[in-house]
Structure 1
Amino acid sequence: MPLKVVIIGGGSSYTPEIIEGFILRHHSFPVDEVVLVDIEDGKEKLEVVGQLAQRMIDKSNVKITLRWTLDRKEALRGADFVSTQIRVGGLEARALDERIPLKHGFIGQETNGAGGMFKAFRTIPVLLELADEMTELCPNAWLINFTNPAGIVTEALLKHSKHQKVIGVCNIPFNMRNSVAEILHAPVEHVSIEFIGLNHFIFGRQVLVNGVDRTADVLAALRQGNDYSPANIVGLGWSESFLNSIKMLPNPYHQYYFQTRDVLAKDLQAYEENGTRAEVVQEVERRLFEQYRDVSLDVKPKELEQRGGAYYSDAACNLMDSLYNDRGDIQTVNTLNQGTIRDLPEDAVIEVNAVITKAGPRPLSIGSLPLHLRGLITNLKTFEQLTIQAAISGKYEDAYLAALMNPLIQDEKRIDALLEELFRAHHLYLPQFQLKEVLS
């Protein structure tokens, strides 16, 4: 049977990662056809990335037919897997997501806080349209969502589209597992971490190496300054009191919630000295695409790791491989709760270890959340669900409630000014919102 994969956002600088993943796994995941899809504004990048991907495939001698196109519907027809890696509004929109909150005294981050909320507002309608097209053109295909904020977007798709074969993926759990393996000098395949929580708000409750509990050893290493932050997040380290008290592995995004003042000060200083992370990434992308245009380049360049997407291809390709082969292995994914965490709704999306089968992920039971995490996680889930509600309804009041419930905002006297400027900046990508009174 032919095996077809479609990559939405194919002109992304991340694409060589996933192409490499397909090449390395072709013996077990024999992709016959890969189609890269982008929009008119991304046409030039799509051409550059497509040509590099073709050179990578030619060098590998694997039998993969590669195409790239701006015709999404034509590409989707007959697909078995569809992977999404889009950024509505591009890096220019990301820069606004980061700059505007900082201007108002809030953390500016592309997937957390106000920036992440507006990224969700821009993204959810676009991916709901994609899901509708998949229902018509490739109803049996799995939609593998890597687009951030991954947990929010995945829940929106599962709640508001007919297409239910949707799984979210994030490279943070994969990154943490690989980094923990390095810390413990153990082969990564021997390491397992029990993850609990939500996308960008997960904790490692237990670390096992060949079935032996090594959680205390990893926490000790963190106390000594070991770090596993990706390229896009500068870690500030954790205090002994924090690690001794939570007795779990934090993830890099936790600094936004537990070190808010320090992160805000750091980001404001970086903003003054070097610009936002988005502007740093724009320079990284400029250099990457210079390399991509080199006709002698036929491998994924090492510099791509600076982009913040390390282990992306492993996370996405391992998931596709396991779904295709009905492996029954355990991976960390974003999927429906269905009673896995007793404190959250059945239809909430969580980030959790799950057994991956051809029928989809089966989450491993967690039970009740630890008392010290319960309030924060349920608060964040409330924010996520209000964000989805606002993205669907287009009501300013729903957007306000989402901001009010976001732990990185929660300042009712400053929310209106923050939202007004963000809505003005992004109004071209937010047609669902009726904002005449707000922006008058």
Structure 2
Amino acid sequence: MKQFTITIAGGGSTFTPGIVLMLLDNQEKFPIKEIKFYDNDEARQATIAGATEVILQEKAPNIKLTATTDPETAFSNTDFVMAHIRTGKYAMREQDEKIPLKHGVVGQETCGPGGIAYGMRSIGDVLELVDYMDKYSPDAWFLNYSNPAAIVAEATRKLRPHSNILNICDMPIGIEELMADAIGLSSRKEMEVDYFGLNHFGWWTGIRDKAGNDLLPQIREHVSKYGYVTDNESLQHSDASWNSTFAKAKDVQALDPETVPNTYLKYYFYPDHEVAKSDASYTRANEVMDGREKFIFGECQKIIDSQTAKDSELHIDEHASYIVDLARAIAYNTKERMLLIVENNGAISNFDATAMVEVPCIVGSKGPEPLTQGEIPRFHKGLMEQQVTVEKLVVEAFEYGSYQKLWQALTVSKIVPSAKVAKDILDDLLEVNKPYWPELT
């Protein structure tokens, strides 16, 4: 069986150790010859790589690890690039969240003004990584789960149309695990789902078990009472902000009780509620910096210092197993059914053909084949058209260096109350993003 080489772009990410552990846990299904880390922050990556070296020595000494800041080394002779980068790191995420809140608008890393600012930072760096892959390993596949995935997906569709890119998000996977637990299933893999939307902006319309029995009524009933909160604490996040998000799904679902929603819709349906409960001086970025960031780097340093991972609290990101499933589907033509972000092309028959939609796909060696979802109702279509307009305007603003288009994008966003507020937020975001955004005129 072929052994694969994986390049992890974002080697210094807090998510990298969990992904490495997940890859190691799946060696029988997806054997690996070499893992390469690539990051433009050498010091940050060195800590993650140092711990990974010890983990590999103990768990899989046959796998080679290369950590580098050199693109040719990182992207040559690789089979898959797994990209999860954060341009500007958490310091800029903090700005994405706090600047909108200063103007009374939701501050969130992928939704509204924060997502737009993050998108403008991410596009150039993701395209650079794609170009490295195309130059050094043109037959490789680029598995992108860098946020904001919707804007990045639109940018890759428009600006790198011929590259082997799959845009993916783990949020539906995490929600499906909660659904499965709520009705007594052991895994989301016991379910087959129908879903349509944009990334962080969609609805489940059908859920069946493998025998074809309809599970949606049970799940709808649970969500209408509890949101996605379950009794299984291991599936709930320890952070209060996430647990309130899972609970708020109950109010989101009330707008369309026939379906169950993606949790991120709360920012669009209840922005006043989100702003009212936000602490503009301590946002989710601060939670992450004080929580996961310190925990992961602390654990990695302990592994380096003790030269063993035996007592480490680092753990496999279970729902990240979809990355292995996706890579296997391409490598072995498994025809796995997965939710992916793909060009619409009629998958939703009454929607923009060029929109990057999130729908079930059958994945094989040629990539994804989207499954037709038919016509969608007016309520969802109207919301999605507004949101996809935002995403397309952001990409055009990046492509043409257009202040006007970025102002339009912020004004169209459902979260922003007026063009004046949009301009005030934009001017503040522009000031702090000058090192990262293209020059706007």
Residue 219 of structure 2 is matched in structure 1 by 218
Within-5 A mapping of 1:255-404: 255-267=266-278, 270-272=279-281, 275-284=282-291, 285-295=293-303, 296=306, 298=309, 310-311=317-318, 313-404=320-411
1:140 and 2:139 are equivalent in the alignment: yes
1:10 paired residue number: 11
Contact conserved, 1:144 with 1:168, CA < 8 A, in 2?
A: yes
CA contact (8 A) 2:223 2:253 kept: no
Name the amino acid aligned to 1:5.
I
Listed as ranges, the matches of 1:171-210 within 5 Å are 171-188=170-187, 189-210=189-210
Q: Which moved more, 1:89-98 or 1:339-348?
A: 339-348
Residue 119 of structure 1 corresponds to: 118
Cα contact 1:81–1:143 (8 A) shared by 2 = yes
Partner residue in 1 for 2:439? 433
Please identify, of 416-425 and 154-163, the stretch whose mean Cα deviation from structure 2 is larger: 154-163
> Any conservation in 1 of the 2:5–2:34 contact (CA below 8 Å)?
yes
Partner of 1:438: none
**How far apart are residue 103 of structure 1 and its match?**
0.2
How many Å separate the matches in 2 of 1:299 and 1:84? 28
Q: 228-237 or 182-191: which moved more?
A: 228-237
Deviation at 1:344, TM superposition (A): 2.5
Structure 2 equivalent of residue 154 of structure 1: 153
Tell me the TM-score normalised to structure 2 length.
0.91
| Higher mean C-alpha displacement, 401-410 vs 219-228 | 219-228
Gaps of 5+ in 1: 436-440
Deviation, structure 1 residue 163: 4.3
CA positional deviation for 1:81: 0.5
Retained in 1: the 8 A contact 2:344–2:352?
yes
**Structure 2 residue aligned with 1:407, among 397, 414, 429?**
414
CA separation in 2, counterparts of 1:136 and 1:224?
A: 52
User: Distance in 2 between the 1:428 and 1:361 partners?
Assistant: 36
- Which letter does structure 1 place at the counterpart of 2:419? E
What does residue 232 of structure 2 align with?
Answer: none
Give the deviation of 1:343 after TM superposition.
2.6
1:199-229 deviations in Å (ceiling 9; x for gaps)? 0001111121231112111111122214257
Indicate the residue corresponding to 2:263 in structure 1: 252
TM-score by length of 1: 0.91
Q: Tell me the amino acid that sits aligned with residue 360 of structure 2.
A: N
SS at match of 1:366: coil
**8 Å Cα contact 2:326/2:363 also seen in 1:** yes
Unaligned ranges ≥5, structure 2: 230-235
Contact 1:177 1:193 in 2 (8 A): no
Residue-by-residue CA offset, 1:130-163 (whole Å, 9 max, x unaligned): 2222221111111110100112202211210254
Corresponding letter in the other structure for 2:309: D
Q: In structure 2, how many angstroms separate the alpha carbons of the residues matched to 1:356 and 1:300?
A: 38
Please say if residues 105 and 271 of structure 2, whose CA atoms lie closer than 8 Å, have aligned partners that are also in contact: no
- Count matched residues: 424
Post-superposition shift, 1:299?
6.7
Q: Distance in 1 between matches of 2:89 and 2:250?
A: 36
Residue 314 of structure 1, CA deviation: 1.2
Does the Cα contact within 8 Å between 1:37 and 1:75 map onto a contact in 2? yes
Contact kept, 8 Å, 2:82 with 2:144, in 1: the verdict is yes
Does the 8 Å contact 2:175/2:228 carry over to 1? no
Residue identity opposite 1:319 in structure 2 = L
Q: Could you tell me how far apart the structure 2 residues matched to 1:321 and 1:380 are?
A: 32
The letter of the residue matching 2:153 is: T
Any conservation in 1 of the 2:329–2:365 contact (CA below 8 Å)?
A: yes
Corresponding position of 1:70: 69
After superposition, the C-alpha distances for 1:358-410 in whole angstroms (9 at most, x for unaligned) are: 10011111011122211001111111111111111111001011111111114
Aligned residue for 1:79, secondary structure, equals coil
Deviation at 1:354, TM superposition (A): 0.6
| Structure 1 residues 418 and 292, CA gap change in structure 2 (3 angstroms) | same
Q: Could you list the structure 1 runs, at least 4 aligned residues long, displaced by more than 4 angstroms after superposition.
A: 228-232, 238-242, 299-305
Answer whether contact 1:20 1:300 (CA < 8 A) is retained: no
Assess if the C-alpha contact under 8 Å between 2:7 and 2:78 holds in 1: yes
Kindly state the Cα deviation for residue 333 of structure 1 after the two structures are TM-superposed. 1.2
Report the Cα distance in structure 2 between the residues aligned to 1:109 and 1:167, rounded to whole angstroms.
24
Q: Deviations over 1:85-114 (max 9, x none)?
A: 111111100000000000011100011110
> Compared with structure 1, are the counterparts of its residues 398 and 83 closer, same or farther at alpha carbon in structure 2 (3 Å cutoff)?
same
Identity of aligned residues (%): 26
Q: How far off is 1:254 after superposition? A: 1.2
Distance of aligned partners of 1:62 and 1:226 in 2 relative to their CA distance in 1, 3 Å threshold: farther
Report the CA distance shift for 1:215/1:120 in structure 2 as closer, same or farther (over 3 A).
same
